[in-house]
Amino acid sequence: MMIDPFGRRVTYLRVSVTDRCNYRCTYCMAEDMTFLPKVEILTLEELDRVCSAFVRRGVRKLRITGGEPLVRRDIMTLFRSLGRFLDSGEMDELTLTTNGSLLARYARDLAECGVRRVNVSLDSLDSERFAAITRGGRLSEVLSGLEAAKDAGLAVKINTVALKGLNEDEFDTLIAWCGRQGFDLTFIETMPMGEIDDDRTEHYLPLSVLRENLGERWTLIDVEDRTGGPARYVRIEETGRRLGLITPMTHNFCESCNRVRLTCTGMLYMCLGQTDSVDLREPLRASEGDELLMAAIDQAIARKPKGHDFVIEPGTDRPAVDRHMSVTGG
């Protein structure tokens, strides 16, 4: 069992398996990205070993992220291996966050590995706007992936970054569409992570404002549902679906934080919005046994901070954290 200095039990590990992505979303990446050399990336076997160590320490939920996790070569090998913890009852859930572009190819395999739900990032239902936000992505591929996920029996939650002046006119459309599709929906405030080409302050939309506006047209009922992540939920009476709100800027969600994040290079971040990290790659590669690795994990949990300090300052586009979200994992 892992207990941090503030008495929070850590049961949730998010694992970035690659910093690479086939999209270049404007709020996430610069258009001309430099990706990590492959020698720095943990092998799939090493990722399995680290995840296994965390399961032995009490992690009950694993989320595979990226970049885009499904672009990692042979990624289903890792999913199949980690599925053993679902079979043994040592773990409650194995899931992933994806942009959906490759779901049509992998949805059935994911279900066979024990994945029961996926989070799919989707910021617009307009094909031209979608292509502009993702810098070249094809909406049709994502929609095909979502159909494949439904056919495979996967529950789907749509993640939408709320962007003032870019997609705020689509929020009602997204809510109604998710209702028809049987999807839950979560809105996310843009986060100041990594240098990008745009000025984040131009598109930052507080979700307190968004919720107030939605409340004029939809009946929003507060619910106590929790899925292990940072979202706070309401139920939309008109659609019967849940709407999540992730508010790292207007209301941080740190008091109940139960998660840590592993990068594809083996750096463990105890907080998404802080720079402190512990290198797990070195002890992982230093010994065939896991004593050094376990000691490093324990050291990291003992340093988990109380919360993050995200701020978007008007008039500046400097990120609060230098690393891109694709490096840390969503």
Q: How far apart are CA 10 and CA 121, in angstroms?
A: 25
Q: What distance lies between CA 214 and its chain's CA centroid? A: 24
Is it true that the peptide bond before 67 is cis, omega within 30 degrees of 0?
yes
Q: Is residue 232 exposed (0-12), middle (13-18) or buried (19+ Cβ within 10 Å)?
A: buried
Number of neighbours of residue 265 by Cβ within 10 angstroms? 18
CB burial readout 191-227, b (16+ within 10 A) else e: bbbbebeeebeebbbbbeebbeebeeebebeeeeeeb
Task: Provide the pLDDT for residue 151.
Answer: 98
CB burial readout 32-57, b (16+ within 10 A) else e: ebeeeeeeebbebeebbbbbbbbbeb
pLDDT per residue over 131-161, tens digit each?
999 999 999 999 999 999 999 999 999 999 9
Task: Provide the pLDDT for residue 329.
Answer: 61
Task: Provide the pLDDT for residue 26.
Answer: 87
pLDDT higher than threshold 80 for residue 330: no
Task: Provide the pLDDT for residue 196.
Answer: 46
pLDDT per residue over 230-250, tens digit each?
778 999 999 999 999 988 554
Q: Mind listing the domains of the chain with CATH numbers? A: 12-328 (3.20.20.70)
**Residue at token pair 């980690």:** 82
Residue type, 211: R
Q: What is the mean pLDDT of the chain?
A: 89
Q: Is residue 243 exposed (0-12), middle (13-18) or buried (19+ Cβ within 10 Å)?
A: buried
Q: How far apart are CA 20 and CA 22, in angstroms?
A: 7
pTM above threshold 0.85: yes
Q: How far apart are CA 121 and CA 126, in angstroms?
A: 14
Residue 119, token pair as written in the block: 């989070």
Instruction: Choose between 315 and 40: higher pLDDT.
Output: 40
Q: How far apart are CA 296 and CA 300, in angstroms?
A: 6
pLDDT per residue over 185-229, tens digit each?
999 988 654 454 565 567 888 899 999 999 999 999 999 876 656
